[in-house]
Amino acid sequence: MLIDSHVNLHAPQFDADRDAVIARAREAGVGLMVEISDKLSTFEATHGLAMAHPDIWCTVGAHPHEARDHVGVTADELVALAARPRVVGIGECGLDFHYDLSPREVQADVFRVHIEAARRSGLPLVVHTREADETMAAILEDEYARGSFNFLMHCYTSGSELAEKTAAMGSWFSVSGIATFKAAENVRAVIRAMPADRIIVETDCPYLAPVPHRGRRNEPAYVGHVLQALADIRGWSLEEAEARTTDAFFALFDRIPRGSVR
């Protein structure tokens, strides 16, 4: 049984064959998927997937690329949407200083709103961070001092210093197909130091397909390659990696009943 903790099945890349993609995931042994919200304008599609499939759950939030269109979003609004059935997390949210598609100060403000929603709802926060280590650490440390919340550093490719700081706050980390890329030894080095009981796996499909599918559209069916890479990096057997990541997943996404896995 495999779990893909981060899928974007509402994305237009899946419009032609979404049902077939979901079927292939199940055939590959994927028993549970978390469909990630990237903006509130597509949340109904995201939530609809979760409501239509017993093995799909979802989050609510706005990606930092979309922060410019969510300046007025409130924690009350996010908390209300998070109360819907099958919503199990807040985000994806955070900071992306690589593309800067939204002004940095707007990204930070919208991120803080998501943190407040996570704190109030009790749901885990799914954090996106890219080339923003110093600012990300400062915001998380400041907000955590105001009141604790559980959070996941999704598709973690940032530096070891940010990883250490967030781990000290109790963060979880998710490993993606980037861990299989030949040039990603710096990412693998950070993975080796992650807390063993707080690592999960994801595809981030349709992006970041793992080797041997790199360069193609990614699918949840490929998450087994990510799990194998994690096992190899940590020196675990595949069975141990599956058990550890499954336990970590349910400890983080604790609104999902463990018996719900196919």
Domains of the chain plus CATH, in order, are 2-260 (3.20.20.140)
Question: Mean pLDDT, to the nearest integer, of 117-141?
Answer: 98
Average pLDDT on 81-87 reads: 98
Q: Which two tokens stand for residue 152?
A: 């996941």
| Residue 28, pLDDT score | 98
Angle at 144 between CA 257 and CA 155, to 5 degrees: 60
Mean of pLDDT values over 200-210:
98
171: closest CA among 224, 132, 115? 115
Q: For the chain, give the percent of residues with pLDDT over 70.
A: 99
The pLDDT of 169-173, averaged and rounded, is: 98
Residue 260 has pLDDT above 80, yes or no: no
Q: What is the pLDDT of residues 212-256, one digit of tens each?
A: 999 999 999 999 999 999 999 999 999 999 999 999 999 999 999
Structure tokens belonging to residue 197:
């009981």
Which residues, 6+ apart, have CB-to-CB distance to 10 below 8 Å? 35, 42, 45, 46, 49
0.95 cut: is pTM over it? yes
Average pLDDT (158-180) is 98
* Residue 166 banded pLDDT, cuts 50, 70, 90: very high
pLDDT score recorded for residue 190: 98
Across the beta sheet with 151-153, the strand order is: 2-7, 30-35, 56-60, 87-96, 125-130, 151-153, 172-175, 199-201
What value does the mean pLDDT of the chain take?
A: 97
- The pLDDT score that the predictor gives to residue 242 is 98
Which pLDDT does position 200 carry in this prediction?
98
Sign of CA dihedral 58, 13, 186, 247: positive
pLDDT of residue 262: 55
Give CA–CA dist 86/255, Å, rounded: 8
CA 50/CA 37 separation, integer angstroms? 11
pLDDT at 49 over 90: yes
Is pLDDT above 90 for 132?
Answer: yes
Tell me the percentage of the chain whose pLDDT exceeds 90.
Answer: 98
Are 67 and 96 spatial neighbours (Cβ–Cβ below 8 Å)?
no
pLDDT category of residue 259 using cuts at 50, 70 and 90? confident
pLDDT at 1 over 90: no
Q: What pLDDT, on the 0 to 100 scale, is given for residue 261?
A: 61
**What would the 3-class secondary structure string for the chain be?**
CEEEEEECCCCHHHCCCHHHHHHHHHHCCEEEEEECCCCHHHHHHHHHHHHHCCCEEEEECCCHHHHHHCCCCCHHHHHHHHCCCCEEEEEEEEEECCCCCCCHHHHHHHHHHHHHHHHHHCCCEEEEEECCHHHHHHHHHHHHHHCCCCEEECCCCCCHHHHHHHHHCCCEEEECHHHHCCCCHHHHHHHHHCCCCCEEECCCECCCCCCCCCCCCCCHHHHHHHHHHHHHHHCCCHHHHHHHHHHHHHHHCCCCCHHHCC
